[in-house]
Amino acid sequence: MKKLSLPDTLLLSIEKPERYIGNEVNAVHKDLSQIEVRFCMCFPDVYEIGMSHLGLQILYDLFNKREDTWCERVFSPWMDLDKLLREKDIPLFALESQDPVKDFDFLGITLQYEMCYTNVLQILDLSQIPLHSDERCENDPIVIGGGPAAFNPEPLHCFFDLFYIGEGEVSYGELLSVYKENRRNKGTRADFLRKAAFVPGIYVPSLYEASYNEDGTLKDFRPLYPDVPEKVRKQVVPDLSYVNYPEKPLIPFIKVTQDRAVLEVMRGCIRGCRFCQAGQVYKPKRERSLAFLKDRAEKILSSGGQDEISLSSLSTSDFSSLKELTDWLIEKYRSCFVNISLPSLRIDAFSLDLMEKVQDVKKSSLTFAPEAGSQRMRDVINKGIDREDILRGSAEAFKGGWNKVKLYFMLGLPTETDEDVLAIAELSDAVAMCYYDTVPKEKRKGIRVQVTSSASFFIPKPFTPFQWAKMDGEKEFRRKAYMLKEAFEKTLNHRSLKFQYHETELSMLEGALARGDRRQSAVIEKAYKNGSMFDAWSEHFSYENWLKAFAESGLNMDFYCLRERGKDELFPWDFIDIGVQKDYLYREWEKGLSAAVTPNCSEKCSLCGARSYGCGICNRL
């Protein structure tokens, strides 16, 4: 590895210098003389968060398997190094080569959530890359964004040259080929952007324009040139068992947020929860084969030596080979004391047998997501479970020896009443009571059950049936949270219960940015220049700074949060084709308002439109 960009004196003066030195286990180094394309992959948050992201690991491995490409990494410097880089005028650098990011061909930025938007500008600023795409010269990197938040790229439109919509394994190869050909032909940056617009899944924001009605709603959105596609179609990997997956994932030197090996068992979800963006944008459900997963598990664990492996997906309980895979992992790695980690599970699909087997390796708390306290609200959101499912699943867990349960709920869902809110405390109390009714006193050994109920505030997201909904607002969110907190304190088993809720201001900002339009780019830039960074970190979040930025930009956060959308309103993200049709989403919105339930995809096809991809569960219906 080359000499470090930071001298020892600076490294010793900052927190966790290991974040910036690279050279971790399985990091890739290449001979630059053999490389045609240099790609810097960025996660705009601190190293420990970014290195926990599976998507970064997948793309890092995907690019580096190409002989003509070297993919490196960069993360948001923490506040201490941010200050030093500015004071010393040191450009932000990639970990592997320690070369300045501005010297790369591409800077690929993962947009995982809206609260990272100001950190995108931090990355560009520290890299000494012009913030606006139209101000970049021929030698500046092509800045491309992807990830969940890229399904509404408009608030960031002027900061990016390109956006990739969908799963990266599909079209990145073609995009890099177009780039190389354009360079061989001595084409300009503008030439490449025009050509990139015809690569499936690529959105070039500078080639489109938006206009607005007097009431502030979007009037029109269209390409600037007749040959540029009006729609950008999401890219989907049709068969996950024949696509690249990391065999030697990067292993950090320091403990990261998700410090474990990750085995992605499937993509997509059959459940159709009406608040869930991922459930819609990642359709259709596609599983990896059991043989593929066993092969990758062996290679991943042998290459990294980690003592825990997580079976990852949106709804792991719905993976058809979950029992077989879990049994195999436990049997094969029992002597190595490798823990099997399962993400949030559906109570109605999680068997006592599976719980007991996983517990035999390492005991930890169970996590369930009822999302709502009352049955009426669970029907509104199409959760697909009832009270009996929840209590039956809890009882089976307690019989299996578990005594810690985490429950996730949302406040402020459409049509929610105070009665629905209070039902969260009542249900949590019933789960705790289930422990005392199920486990005999002599088997408790003096241990009290611990039920932790967490409530987030409902945020309408693009491409969901609830994208037409309004949010409650700060005062109403607080009123419901305080009311619920008091209700928890009055429960019979209050000593066994813990209630916590998210910050209202952060939820309001996320809601405004999630359904934002092009005009918000000015807001984001003003907030950044006034000091906003690491907005997801409560110690650095300044709501006042954002309110000021909205006001200075002539925009009102309430416009984006507190109004219900009309059926025919044009949304800033409507030019993206995710397969799922807008008229289907509106039908689901209407069904939600009347608390009508829609069967999941394995029971009955609802003709959402995802069948157009011709793969996964849609191909078997």
Give the CA distances from residue 6 to residues 22, 178, 317, in Å, rounded to whole numbers and listed in that order: 12, 35, 46
* Residue 21 counted as domain residue: yes
Nearest one of 118, 139, 117 to 128, comparing CA atoms: 139
Does residue 145 form part of some domain? yes
Task: For residue range 69-121, list pLDDT tens digits in order.
Answer: 999 999 999 999 999 999 999 999 999 999 999 999 999 999 999 999 999 99
291 falls within a domain: no
Average pLDDT, integer, range 476-501 = 97
3-class secondary structure, 284: coil
Rounded Cα gap, residues 428 and 501, in angstroms: 14
**pLDDT band for position 361 (cuts 50, 70, 90):** very low
Q: What does the chain come to in residues?
A: 621
Examine residue 60 and state whether it is found in any structural domain, yes or no. yes
Mean pLDDT of the chain: 94
CA distances 20 to 109, 390, 522, 568, Å, are 18, 45, 31, 49
Cα(155)–Cα(519) distance, rounded to whole angstroms? 7
Give tens-digit pLDDT for 510-547.
Answer: 999 999 999 999 999 999 999 999 999 999 999 999 99
Contact indicator for 350, 393 with CB cutoff of 8 Å: yes
159 phi and psi angles, rounded to 5 deg:
-95, -15
Position 400 scores a pLDDT of 77
Structure tokens at 91: 């450009």
CB atoms within 10 A of CB 65: 12
Q: Is residue 499 part of a domain?
A: no
Looking at residue 228, what is its pLDDT?
A: 97
Torsion on CA atoms 478, 465, 514, 238, rounded to nearest 10 = 140
In a domain, 99, yes or no: yes
Q: How many CB atoms lie within 10 A of CB 230?
A: 11
- Give CA–CA dist 42/144, Å, rounded: 10
Give the range of the structural domain holding residue 176, as residue numbers without chain letter: 8-233
pTM over 0.85: yes
Q: What percent of the chain has pLDDT over 70?
A: 96
Q: Is 368 part of any domain?
A: no
Tell me what the mean pLDDT of segment 407-423 comes to. Answer: 97
Q: How many domains does the chain have?
A: 1
Residue 89: exposed, middle, or buried by beta-carbon count in 10 A (0-12, 13-18, 19+)? exposed
d(CA 44, CA 153): 15
* Contact predicate 191/182, CB 8 Å: yes
For 397, the token pair is 């867990």
Residues 246 and 299: their CA atoms lie apart, in Å, by: 9
Using CB atoms within 10 A of its CB, is residue 563 exposed (0-12), middle (13-18) or buried (19+)? middle
Beta strand residue intervals within 170-276, DSSP E = 202-203, 208-212, 218-223, 232-233, 261-264, 266-267
- Tens digit of pLDDT for each residue in 146-198? 999 999 999 999 999 999 999 999 999 999 999 999 999 999 999 999 999 99
In terms of Cα–Cα distance, which of 182, 162, 175, 187 is closest to 111?
162
**Is 272 within 8 Å of 36 (Cβ atoms)?**
no
Statement: residue 450 has pLDDT above 90: yes
Express each pLDDT in 562-596 by its tens digit. 999 999 999 999 999 999 999 999 999 999 999 99
For residue 356, being part of any structural domain is answered with no
